[in-house]
Amino acid sequence: MKAVGIVVEYNPFHNGHFYHVTQSKKITNADVVVAVMSGPFLQRGEPALVSKWHRTKMALRSGVDLVVELPYVFSTANAPLFAEGAIYLLGALQCDAFSFGSEDGILEPFLNTADLIETHFEEYNGLIKKFVSTGISYPQSLFYAYEQLKQKNGRVYLDLSKPNNILGYHYIVAAKKFNLPIEPVTIQRIQANYHDSIRETSTIASATGIRKEIFQKGHLEAIQPYVPDASYQELAEWRRQYSRFVDWEAFWPLLRYAIMRYRPENLKAFADVSEGIEYALIKHAKHSQTFSEFMSSIKSKRYTWTRLQRMLTHIFTGITKEELHQFKTPTYIRLLGMTERGQAYLSERKKSLELPMISRVGQVKDPMLEIDIRASDIYALGVEFFSDKKIDGDYKLPPIRF
């Protein structure tokens, strides 16, 4: 059986994701679609709208055949590490190709850009340091260094101001780094960009726009045209069970407590906390009644919204620098769910998989997995805090079979 791999968050699964799944399968002539999906906390440093189990059901009911979890260590990391963890897992699952959505929609600029930066890596790093030294944020320094570097010749290069292009570039680099025999494929993102709000003239909207609509209007009817029936049903079921959807506002009382219970010297032990930001975190947590008020108080040129959210995620889950940075690549494949086709693919490949397959976490001792379980437990605690309803933990829930 031939497999195409995709890297996803599904926060939530929408019509654009359905298009990506069907096109990926069609273009690669794959028998199965394998998704590496983030768990309870996501790459931009925020909790997922609903649990990983609800999002797995959305995927399996909408064309994905196999869903495995991207470990917390990678799912909450910057773009290069996020990509490395995900692509390494797709390689370990022996996918023949990986497919990603992009604003460019053509593979050549991705390959050219990867070659450019690899060839001129020392010069590129020097430019980054120069821009950082002027007080520009690290992400902006990366962009300015790249813009200067790509003047080298007349080849077609990527627009690295676009979020999906950035991730796609890092997927290509990761596949090269691990020397994986896996074919890259990119699919043009259609009708809605990453940050776009919902438009009534289209049936495809960004996940950002869909979440914004849910939180602003407080009901699901407005987003029904933009998600498959499976997603709508899972979202409705979540709301029925837990009364509201998850964002940092829902978790703010717990996050606020997590910040204020530490002295500054203790707070800086957590991953991504640096450069004295711990003092500002404590100061503004004392006086901020909402998460948005808190973020507005601490955001600056040096600290982007995403960087701050990742930092806060690690404080909330209690993950220290020492814990987070001890890992280079995933050490297991954590199965969340599968269709009959997905199960057939695993049966065909299981004897030659390069990493152990975990379906029951109680049978395994692994430091990376322990972090995943802790993150899931903290997420479940946050949901219980505002809803008085429990989410069954990782030790109780087996993989979903659809």
Annotated binding site: 7-20, 101, 164, 189-190
Query: Rounded to whole angstroms, how far apart are CA atoms 345 and 340?
Result: 9
- Whether omega for the bond prior to residue 12 falls within 30 degrees of 0, making it cis, is yes
Give CA–CA dist 257/234, Å, rounded.
Answer: 31
Single-letter code of the amino acid located at 8: V
Cα maximum dimension of the chain: 60
Amino acid occupying residue 275:
E
Q: How far apart are CA 186 and CA 168, in angstroms?
A: 8
Counting runs of H as helices and runs of E as strands, what totals does the chain give? 18, 8
Cβ neighbours, 10 Å, residue 181: 9
Distances (CA, A) of 284 to 111, 204, 260, 278, 300: 44, 38, 10, 10, 14
Annotated binding-site members for ATP? 7-20, 101, 164, 189-190
Cα separation, 195 vs 18, whole angstroms: 18
d(CA 83, CA 96): 17
d(CA 400, CA 89): 19
Name the nearest CA neighbour of 268 among 303, 307, 316, 315. 315
